[in-house]
Amino acid sequence: MWKIIGKRGVHHLHKLNTAANVPASIIENGQKRVIDASLTLIRERAKLKGELVRALGGAVASTSLLGVPLGHNSSFLQGPAFAPPRIREAIWCGSTNSTTEVGKELKDPRVLTDVGDVPVQEIRDCGVDDDRLMKIISDSVKLVMEQDPLRPLVLGGDHSISYPVVRAVSEKLGGPVDILHLDAHPDIYHSFEGNKYSHASSFARIMEGGYARRLLQVGIRSITSEGREQGKRFGVEQYEMRTFSRDRHALENLKLGEGVKGVYISLDIDCLDPAFAPGVSHIEPGGLSFRDVLNIIHNLQGDVVGADVVEFNPQRDTVDGMTAMVAAKLVRELTCKISR
């Protein structure tokens, strides 16, 4: 439904501009106002949270949530567009306490703040195309990073959002990062189904842009010949589940980020076996356990400068919100790797 609504909005404005002889300047000026308003809201919320964290003092790096409710670049289901509010609800639902496994208190603003969502659907309904939308997402991430010591933890959304987010992090820091990518799929098609911004092509765009030095892909168990060829082309380190027992020790003792601007973690919920997280669009049995993922994250050595949690689909979750709680727990523990 999300994809249909978005396309209708763009198509309707196109018809207004051409068939009804509406001056292009009217639509273009209106789009600019909406984009400016969207970025202003992110900017002012980030500024407020940054001022608060700096006033409290003592934080070298502080996690700030940014939602990107985008689902139209998914090749199958668009439900991930509805994930950010469900993840936030699960983080603060009260069924568990607000302390992470390593003892950080999430209610402390120096550990976690929230700057809200990029209004993706509202922007698209004004006829804004994906080239401009990706720039808006990148600009939003940069606005968060301008407020030192805030660092972005982005709530997707489908995996297409990782490209503009990583681009923003790399451009803002002035160089490439190392990426730890946990996923059932490599998402490195050149242009899946003709869409260069497909959620299945995000890491091709990242590697083409030179935004990553090393890309480690963990949890892979659905990969085509193109995925392997693209991996070789870009020098990607692909760890497939069929060899996980052999690779476990190395993956649970990773050291990344030396000689570059830091480490970025991209966590697709379907890296997990569906027994742990059924609420995903692409169910791939034979995945990582929840503790496997936490061990990899907790033991990672490196300066984590940003992260995303993507591809949770609330429309496929259990009635009691099991996958929402899983996503929330992952956000909580990722916060521990960023905030210090």
Q: Is 185 annotated as a binding residue?
A: yes
| Contacts of residue 21, Cβ cutoff 8 Å, sequence gap at least 6 | none
225 burial class (0-12, 13-18, 19+ CB within 10 angstroms)? exposed
Q: Is 159 annotated as a binding residue?
A: yes
Q: Which amino acid is at 137?
A: I
Q: Is 268 annotated as a binding residue?
A: yes
β pairing state of 177-182 and 263-268: parallel
Q: Is 12 annotated as a binding residue?
A: no
* Pairwise CA distance, residues 139 & 96, whole Å: 34
* Pairwise CA distance, residues 340 & 252, whole Å: 21
Q: Is 129 annotated as a binding residue?
A: no
Q: Is 270 annotated as a binding residue?
A: yes
- Binding-site residues for Mn(2+) sit at 159, 183, 185, 187, 268, 270
- Binding-site residues sit at 159, 183, 185, 187, 268, 270
